[in-house]
Every structure is written in C-alpha cells, then in structure tokens.
Copies of this chain bind each other. A is one copy, B any other.
Amino acid sequence: MNIPRSSFPRIVIIGGGFGGIALAQRLSRKEVQVVLLDKNNYHCFQPLLYQVSTGGLEPDSIAYPLRKVLIGYDNFFFRLAEVLEIEPENKLLNTSIGTLSYDYLVVATGSETNFYGNTELEQNGMAMKTIPQSLNLRSLILENFEQALLTDDYHERDALMNFVIVGGGPTGVELAGALAEIKKGILPKDYPDLDTRRATINLIQSGDRILNAMSGQASKKAEDFLEKLGVQVWKGVRVTGYDGKTVTTRTDLTFESATLVWAAGVKGATVAGLDVKELLTTGSRLAVNEFNQVVGYPEIFAIGDVACMQTDERPNGHPMMAQPAIQQGRQLGENLVRLIEKKPLKPFDYTDKGSMATVGRNKAVCDLEHLKFQGVFAWFVWMFVHLFFLIGFRNRVVVFVNWVYNYIKFDREARLIIRPYKRDYSQFKD
C-alpha cells in the first residue's frame, strides 16, 4: 500500500465504527500518522438500522462517508480495504489491497451476528447488522406481502405474513415494534385486497424477560407496549432451527414463517493472526487490559464490541454498544499519545450513561443511573439522543424531516424494493 512513511509513528485503525472514529478524531491534531482501514467507505449508525429495514429511513441518511470524518487533517489516510491477517511479529497487516506496516495497531472491527454455529439458521435467517443486510430485509418484508397477494392458499398466505424475530434485545424489540406499526398504519392502506389483520409479529426471547440488560421496570413496560401494539412476545422459548419455512424450537412449538430475523446474538469480529486462542473471551472478543491493550501484544489495542475488558465489576466486559466504544476510542487516543511520549497510561473508566430502547411512537423505555422512565418523554429523549449521536448535519436534518413526516402521517415512505431479495417461495407450495 503506497502510503508514505512520515517522521511520526504510524497508528493503523481497523474499522470506522463508533470506536474507530472517536479514536481517529482524538488523534487528528497529534504528532502521529493515522491510517484508517475499513471494508466499507462509510460509517454506519447501527442503532437505526431497524428503521432502514422497515422503510422509515433511507440508508444514506444513517451512513456517513469515512473520508469526510477527518477531512482537512494532515497525515490522515483512509483506505477501503479488508484486513486478512495481522503479522504481529513483523508489525504488518495483510489486506485485500496489499501489506501495510504499523507502529501501533488498533482493532476496532466491531461485532457480527452470532448464529452459534447453526448453519441452517445462518442460511435461511436474516441478520441485520449492516446496511446491505437491512436493505435485504426491507426487500424481503415487502416482497412477502406482494407474494401473499398471489396465493389462494391461506396457510401459505399466513406464513408469508408471519414474522419471527428471535432475540429480545433492543434490536429485536425495536424491529418488532416497527413491524407492528407498519401492520397497523400502512398495510391496510397499501394492501386493501389482502386481509392484513392476519399478519403476525412474533418476538422470541430465550430468557424470562425481554431487554434483559435493562431494568425490570423497562422490561415490563416494553413488553406492555409490544402487547398493546399486537406483538406476540414469547419468553423462555429457544429457537433451534429454520429451514426457510418452519421455525423449530426446543419444545414442540413451531412457527410457519417466510421471515426469520436473527437478533439473538453477536460476537466480536476478530481478525486472523493473533495467537489469542486462550484469551478469547465471551463471544469471540479479544481480551484487553485496562488500557485496551490486547493481552500479550503491547503494540496492539482493541476497542469497542470486539474488545473485552474483564473487571471484577464486569466479568463479561462492557456492553457491546456505542457508548463503551466511543469512550474507549477517546481514552485510547489520549493513551497512545502518552505511550509515544513515554508517559504512564491512564486506565479506562466507563461512564454508564444509561440505556434506552424504543418500541413505537410515543413508546420508549429509558434507564438512567438514578432515573428510570418510560413512555412519551422517554421516546423524545430517545429521538434526541439518536439525532445527537448521528454523524453529519445533513443526516440529522434528513432523519429529523423523515421522523416528523412519519409521525404526522403514520407513514414510512422508503418502502422500495431497490435491491430485490431472491427468496425461493416454491417451498410454500406443497
């Protein structure tokens, strides 16, 4: 890779997510050379992917060109590349566009959907961790209704209008709520010749409550909200398989459905080349010390979802969300400068700003440190916080315009099948 060496140390960041960007911004005016690598040329605001899947927002309004993040700063390089392997002994990266040497390496690759080795689920289920995946899901949802119009077999029709969402975390809850609102507000108008009352949305949670990373109060209220919207919440149910037609569970409960969305697990998106077999902690994450240093590799750091900083207080590391990634990125930015200046590093101290999830219009749940609240105010807080963290002024305005429009009109207009999802519907014809 033809990036000139400067007299400053070279810090290579793999991944332009929340962590990678926060770190790059912190390093922007320092005496270092920063190389940011990502397999996409954009940053994706993952918390709003479910709105892309459900036609509420365009993909471009929750994505931001990575080249713009550090526009105008010297000694900053972006390359569109996939990292194939780290060679820590040579301080080298092998990538899809050639090799690159580093002085310090930061792995900020985030997380990917975890199917826990179930290849059937992986093949037939839909994941929703990237923009292309969300667009695929949007297409599939819309195609299912177009297909439902074509059949006279009511079993088939029900299966096409039956949505199974596995995983009762924020992603599953938010997607289930959005689908329920589409069922109520859009389907009867769009499909007057289809009995869309028969559409069902199932949210399946293996544990005994949804949003189990939040307070019991939030879980309870979110479940109330979902039930009010008509979502069927199944707790204590563990999905075992899906052949594209029938969802099986550990008991003899089954669901006939053309759509299974898998939001039941994530794992760290690790990079090959690190000898960390012993160190991989919960969910394929890289074990890091309190300075986000990958254990055993003093020049390699990991931040965000892919990093697992185990402490007595947090034996499973920090939650795999935007906030720890952003805070670790900022802290590491300072620590890297300290490291280069041979000053002692400062340990990471996480400030829990709370968590929230939205279920539908006027319906959200918020857990702050000293205050838990639900309903309309929580929903406004949720929107404000998401607009605030969205990157780019234009994105904020466009998202805001869409939200206002969707709120007033009970509508979601980005429901276009721009990227057809090729589903084999023949299996429903038996």
Contact = CB atoms under 8 A, between A and B. Distances in A.
Interface of A: 1-3, 40-42, 58-61, 63-65, 67-68, 71-72, 77, 79-80, 97-98, 131-132, 135, 142-143, 146, 149-150, 152, 189-191, 193, 392-395, 397-398, 401-402, 405, 409, 411, 413-419
Contacts of A415: 41, 65
A142 B65 CA distance: 11
Nearest to A64: B413
Given A41-B142, A394-B405, A193 B77 contact: yes
Nearest to A59: B418
Given A152-B2, A402-B394, A413-B60, A190 B67 contact: yes
Contacts of A97: 150
B401 A80 contact: no
Contact of A413 (B68, B191, B419): B68
Given A79-B149, A149-B79, A418 B71 contact: no
B413 A405 contact: no
A135 B413 CA distance: 19
B58 A417 contact: no
Nearest to A3: B193
B405 A401 contact: no
B59 A131 contact: no
B398 A394 contact: no
B398 A401 contact: yes
A307 B393 CA distance: 45
A72 B416 CA distance: 19
Contacts of A398: 58, 398, 401-402
A193 B394 CA distance: 26
Closest 9 CB pairs of A and B: A58-B60, A42-B416, A60-B414, A58-B58, A67-B190, A80-B146, A394-B405, A41-B417, A71-B189
Contacts of A405: 393-394, 397
B414 A190 contact: no
A143 B293 CA distance: 34
Contacts of A143: 80
Nearest to A67: B190
A405 B397 CA distance: 10
A417 B131 CA distance: 11
